Amino acid sequence: MKIKVSLIISTYNWSEALRLVLKSVAIQTVLPEEILIADDGSDYTTKVVIEEFKNQLNIPVKHIWQKDLGFRKAKILNKAIASAKGDYIITVDGDCILHKEFVGDHLRFSMKKTFLFGSRVNIQEHYLPILFEKSKITFNFWSKGIKKRTRALRCPLWSHLFGIKTSISKKVRGCNISFWKADIIKVNGYDESIEGWGREDSELFIRVLNSGCRSRRLRYRGIVYHIWHNEKSKNRVSINNQVQELTISKCKVWCENGIDQYLGKT
């Protein structure tokens, strides 16, 4: 049976980067059934880019927007996941260009009660003028302007060296992760008490593991290329750390302020 896939792209006020990400979606060898843009309060320039690709792509593109009240990624991702039509969801950030096999790689390794997480190749700051001038969306191990270049190696045979785990990895990043929608609903999605940069992804997937699911690192496949940008403010990391530590100490599965408030409303 064919798996219905929703691709969620989170973004905030960087339409230039989002355009490259959407261009990389358009050349996927396996397309998702829909794209959802989880927009944490961007201005009209982001909407212009989304409308442009709505007219270019042969799949639905849905813009899910919330008012800009600071970094509320957990909240906008809950809204997007609740709106997703797919059974299987892949999430990336709006500053991560996708390898053309990205969606297909996640699908090939999808397993029940298992989430996948991949890493990212870094596009360096000095290369950004060329990146945007040439609208470059294809890279490989030898490409200029990248670091962590071993992560750009796509070697399907090597990817089987990474097995299934039942503990959280420090390498879990929301910019490259996939999961079954039902597994996220079971734990009530992202904890919206986590605001500001940090821990929204790891705290969620600790609860997912506590619920009986497993994880698998997607290495040498499922590649993304992260566009350099200034670091986000980390002024709430200590508060978010406390939320995560409580989840760990109490082996929590459910969060109180989560996705259930949006379910059945789309």
Is residue 266's pLDDT more than 80?
no
Which two three-digit tokens encode residue 200?
A: 């929204």
Per-residue pLDDT at 225: 97
DSSP codes of every residue in 8-34: EEEESS-HHHHHHHHHHHHT-SS--SE
Q: Which amino acid is at 255?
A: C
- Domain boundaries along the sequence of the chain: 5-261
Q: Tell me the pLDDT tens digit for each residue of 8-43.
A: 999 999 999 999 999 999 999 999 999 999 999 999
N residues, the chain = 266
pTM: 0.95
Mean per-residue pLDDT for 184-192? 98
Tokens 């201005």 locate to 43
Burial degree of 215 (CB within 10 A; 0-12, 13-18, 19+): buried
Question: Could you tell me where the DSSP H helices lie in 36-127?
Answer: 44-56, 73-83, 102-108
Percent of all residues in the chain with a pLDDT value above 90, rounded to a whole number: 86
Average pLDDT of the chain to the nearest whole number: 94
Q: How confident is the model at residue 1 (pLDDT cuts 50, 70, 90)?
A: low
Q: How confident is the model at residue 170 (pLDDT cuts 50, 70, 90)?
A: confident
Q: Tell me the pLDDT tens digit for each residue of 196-244.
A: 998 999 999 999 999 999 999 999 999 999 999 998 888 899 999 999 9
Q: Tell me the pLDDT tens digit for each residue of 104-143.
A: 999 999 999 999 999 899 999 999 999 999 999 999 999 9
Mean per-residue pLDDT for 35-56? 96
CATH placement of domain 5-261: 3.90.550.10
Per-residue pLDDT at 168: 85
